[in-house]
Structure 1
C-alpha cells in the first residue's frame, strides 16, 4: 500500500468566530502551512483572502500566497480557482497562471469541481438555511474547458466530487479522453450543515467509493466540509486512500477547536498506529506523478 499523503485545507472561506486558526494574509497562510508541513502535510488547498478575511480572486494576491508558502515549506499547491458567477474560463484560471514566462511558478494542480450544487448551509439548530441562492455551476462544457486548460498549462487535474453524479461525470470525462494523467480524485463528505455532499460518516464514504471511476489509474483523497473527517479517517487509511483536513473545512469545536497543524498531526499519529507511514514531500511527488 502507498504511504499516506496528508493534505491541509487551512482557510477556505471560513471566518475565525468558531476557530481562530484560520489564516487570511499570505504571511499567515505560509506560517500555518509550514507548521502543517512540519508534522506531515505535503499538499494544500487554500483561498486567497484579504487582511480582514474577505475573498479575493486577484492574480497578484494568489501569487503572493504561492511565493510565501514556497519560501517557508516544501508543499504541493492545489489552490482554488476564481469560481465567480459570470466569470469566463480565462477569468476563472487567471489566478493560477503564475508569473508570466515562468511556468514553474504555477501551482502543481488545477482543482476542478465536477458538477453543480446548492452551496447553501443548513443550520440544524435553527432548522433553516442561512441563504437560499448560493449555486455552484460547473456544467459539462465548463468541465471540459477547465480540463483543457489544465492540459494546456501542464497542471495536474485535481477532480472534486460531492456525490455520485459528480463521480459519474468524472467517469464520462475520463472515457472521453478529456482528463490528463496522472490525476487526483477528491471525495468530499458533508457534515450536517452541508447537505450537498454525501454524509460525513461511513455510509457517505461507502457511497463515494461505490462510484469510484473504473478503468483508469488515479489517487483518491477524502475530505469533509462542515463535518468531522476523523470519524472516517481510519477507514480511508485502511483502504489505501489519502486524507485532506483543516479548520477551513470544519471548526472541530467538539475536539477543542484544534489548530490546522494539530489536525494534521492527529492524522499522522493515526496512520502510524495503523501501520501506514506518512509520505514526505518528495514521496508525495513520486506517488502523484508530479515531476516539476
Structure 2
C-alpha cells in the first residue's frame, strides 16, 4: 500500500468561539506545526492571522511564520494564496508566494490553486436565511493560468483545489496544457453545514468527485471538509487510496470534544494505520509529488 499523506489545516479563518485551540500568532502556528508533525502530519497548511484572529495577508507575516515553523520542524509548508479578490487584484494573490519562493529559507513547498470561482453564501437551514449573498471567491481562468505559470516558474508545486466537477475538469485542462506537471496533487474541497457550494462531506460527495478523475493521469488526491466532520470519513478515504487534509481550521470537531490540532491528527493517524497504511514523511511526500 502506498503511504498516506496527511496535511494539517490548522487555522484557516476559524475564530475561537467554537474551538478555543485555533492557533493565530506565528509562535502558536509554529508550535502547532511541530506538534502535528510529531503525530504524523507531513504538510502544514496555514493562514497568517493577527493576534485577534483577523487575516494578515502580507509577505512579512508569512515570512515570519515560515521562518519559525522551519526552526522547529521539517514539516512541508503550504501557505494560502489569500481570500476574496476582485477583478483588479485577483492576479496579485500569487505575489506573496512568488516573493517567498525567492527568499532564502522561506520557499513554500506547495501552494494552492482553487480552479474555479465559487459563491460563498452562508445558508442557515434552521432560520431559512441566507447571508453574505454577494460574497464571491473569484478565480478567473486568466488568473488561474497566471497562478499556474508563476508557480511553475518558481518551482513550487501547485495543489489543485476542486470544489466541484467543473473545477476538476479545469484542473485537468491545466495539466493537459502542461502548465501543471504530473504527478498532480488535487484536493477535493468538500463543504458542509452552512457552506453549500461544494460537494457534501459524505462518501457519496467524495465518490462523485472520484468518478471524474481520469485513470490515465498520475494524480494523488486528498480531501478536506469545510464545515463538516472529515474524521468520520477517514477509514473510507484510506481504503480508497486517497489522502487527507484535516484540522480545526475547517471544523471544530465537537464530536471529539473540541480537540487541539495535534489531538485530531493523533486520532486520525490511528484510524489510517488500522487500514494497513503507513504515514508519509516529508521526504516521502517529496518523492511522491516530485517536489523540487
Q: TM-score, normalised by structure 2?
A: 0.94
Q: How many Å separate the matches in 2 of 1:149 and 1:213?
A: 25
Q: Shift in Å at residue 279 of structure 1? A: 1.4
Q: Secondary structure at the match of 1:211?
A: coil
Q: How many Å separate the matches in 2 of 1:280 and 1:25?
A: 26
Match of 1:57? 57
Deviations 1:242-274 (A, max 9, x none): 101000000111321111111111111001111
Q: TM-score, normalised by structure 1?
A: 0.94
Match of 2:133? 132
Match of 1:254? 255
Q: Which runs of 4+ in 1 moved over 6 A?
A: none
Deviations 1:177-210 (A, max 9, x none): 2213333100011112211110101110111111
Q: How many Å separate the matches in 1 of 2:104 and 2:222?
A: 26
Match of 1:281? 282
Deviations 1:127-171 (A, max 9, x none): 322321110111211111110011111111110001111011112
Q: Secondary structure at the match of 1:267?
A: helix
Q: How many Å separate the matches in 1 of 2:128 and 2:140?
A: 30
Match of 2:46? 46
Match of 2:94? 93
Deviations 1:208-235 (A, max 9, x none): 1111144321211111110000222111
1:167 and 1:213 in contact (8 A); partners too:
no
TM-aligned CA distance change 1:96 to 1:193, over 3 Å: same
Q: Shift in Å at residue 126 of structure 1? A: 2.7
Q: Secondary structure at the match of 2:46?
A: coil
Query: How many residues are treated as equivalent by the alignment?
Result: 291
- In structure 2, the gaps of 5 or more residues are none
Match of 1:175? 176
Q: Secondary structure at the match of 2:43?
A: strand
2:8 and 2:41 in contact (8 A); partners too:
yes
Q: How many Å separate the matches in 2 of 1:178 and 1:100?
A: 18
Q: Shift in Å at residue 101 of structure 1? A: 4.9
Q: How many Å separate the matches in 2 of 1:200 and 1:276?
A: 22
Match of 1:155? 156
TM-aligned CA distance change 1:189 to 1:99, over 3 Å: closer
Match of 1:220? 221
TM-aligned CA distance change 1:30 to 1:164, over 3 Å: same
1:205 and 1:232 in contact (8 A); partners too:
no
Q: Which moved more, 1:166-175 or 1:282-291?
A: 282-291
TM-aligned CA distance change 1:126 to 1:196, over 3 Å: same
TM-aligned CA distance change 1:64 to 1:211, over 3 Å: same
Q: Shift in Å at residue 50 of structure 1? A: 0.7
TM-aligned CA distance change 1:144 to 1:103, over 3 Å: farther
* 1:270 is the counterpart of 2:233: no
Q: Shift in Å at residue 284 of structure 1? A: 2.0
Q: How many Å separate the matches in 1 of 2:272 and 2:102?
A: 40
Q: Shift in Å at residue 281 of structure 1? A: 2.0
Match of 2:165? 164
Q: Shift in Å at residue 52 of structure 1? A: 0.8
